Structure 1
């Protein structure tokens, strides 16, 4: 079990497929997590029962951790 949530973040970000997109009001680029099933960027981050972090696509309903 990780000592902090930041250690868990590093592990989970490797699971999702990030994409980079420019945003005029923010820094030159930002990372968006996309659904591995449908490719949508409409992804919600949720806490699991055991304190882990999972993701749910609000477009197709696919969930992963």
Structure 2
């Protein structure tokens, strides 16, 4: 059992990457991290936020 939530999260991301393949993961254009959240943008559009560096884009 993981010792922390960070270890559990890391293992979940690794498992997702193994299933999906690196080419299908969304990466932050600023830092390259795959820790990206999809959020509702202005006027109902879709935006993305990198949870590693805070960069946001549409």
Counterpart among 27, 50, 57 of residue 50 in structure 2: 57
Q: Does 1:46 align with 2:39?
A: yes
Could you list the structure 1 runs, at least 4 aligned residues long, displaced by more than 6 angstroms after superposition: none
The two structures have a TM-score, normalised by structure 2, of: 0.61
More strand per residue: 1
The runs of 5 or more residues in structure 1 that have no matched partner are 1-20, 24-28
Segments of 5+ residues of structure 2 without an aligned counterpart are 1-16
Give the secondary structure class of the aligned counterpart of 2:25.
Answer: strand
Q: TM-score, structure 1 length as denominator?
A: 0.55
Structure with greater helix percent = 2
